[in-house]
Amino acid sequence: MAKKDTDSTKDKPLDFNERRMQALAKENAQLRDYVSTMMERLRENDQLFSRLFALEASVLAAGDPEDMCFTLLRELRSQFSLDMVRIWLDRDSIIGSTQMNALSEQDLIWLEAGEIKNMGIARRDVWLLQMEKGKFPWLQERDNDLGSLALLRLGSKDKPFGVIGLGSNNKERFKPEQSTDFLAHLAQVISLSLEHAISHQRLARLAITDALTNTHNRRFLQPYSHQPLSSWFGKGVMVAAMYFDMDDFKGLNDRLGHAAGDDALTELCDTIRRYVRAQDPIIRMGGDEFVLLLPGCDIEKAKEIGGKIRADISQLTCHGETLSVSIGLALSNAEDDMTLNDLVKAADKAMYVAKALGGNRLEYAAAKD
């Protein structure tokens, strides 16, 4: 009888309270799992936010667009474990004239006008792709192992100026159905930062640029005027300076008008540029006077350059009148390390000697004379 009673108790249905307790226990276990999962996601998101904030801080601290892009590439690679980080920029956009010499061809690729819109990227802030062996037109052979790609548009939908590509060999890293809030926010911060840096750089360039000849103006020299040349060009570098003055420029203006005078100055600067390096500063000192600085150029080479410029100018006509220029040349040897002001004054003095001797000539005066 005892055994029968035991079996009867075992088969007895659970009462309401017992069933409720078991359900609560199951719900509690599920809730603990859910809370644990949420806490893990919160920790991951907190780490992601921290890395994003650090990245944004680094980008904002960059001094110019080139530095900003270089910082962006470095930080994205180091902080987010990506297999590819690349920037595509539109040559025809606001950033098209920006120098990016510090970035390699693997890091930066220039696009032609309209390519971003033609690819369909302009319509979205972020585009997530899963790929088969790098099946995307902008990718290269070295990208064949990429499994997924995130493309972040830089600039507005109407005027995109670039794209940042984040690639991973993991096909699940950037799945099309994933949220893109973080990436869209990052793209917006980078876009605004780059646009601000470009605008600031352009304003700074305009402040030191002569609008007529597109040479530098006197303000360009102000930070260096009273400093040794080595603080600008480096120690042990000789620097030649030429001072140019158009002959009878006032007479030309009086006879033909200021438009003709402007044309003559443009001809002079175009001629100078043909014989010098792109980085050699040409400065309009005022009126028809210009200074050319040639770092690393010895006196014989400087005389050769100056002679060719003078000869070419003397073959030009402007509105029917022949042009000519007087040139003063001075040199600061490496051991002299003169100030910029003193070198320019020496070249200016030599130019006045050329004027006094009839013009259309080059005169050299040792910088210490």
HSE, CB side, 13 Å, CA atoms: give it for residue 273: 12
- Kindly state the greatest CA–CA separation across the chain: 141
Residue 225 DSSP SS3 = coil
Q: Are 244 and 289 within 8 A, CB to CB?
A: yes
Question: CA 152 to CA 180: how far, in whole Å?
Answer: 10
Q: Which amino acid is at 272?
A: I
Which helix H or strand E contains 203, and what residues bound it? helix 181-207
Question: CA 214 to CA 309: how far, in whole Å?
Answer: 18
Residues known to be catalytic: 288
Question: CA 172 to CA 257: how far, in whole Å?
Answer: 70
Question: CA 326 to CA 364: how far, in whole Å?
Answer: 11
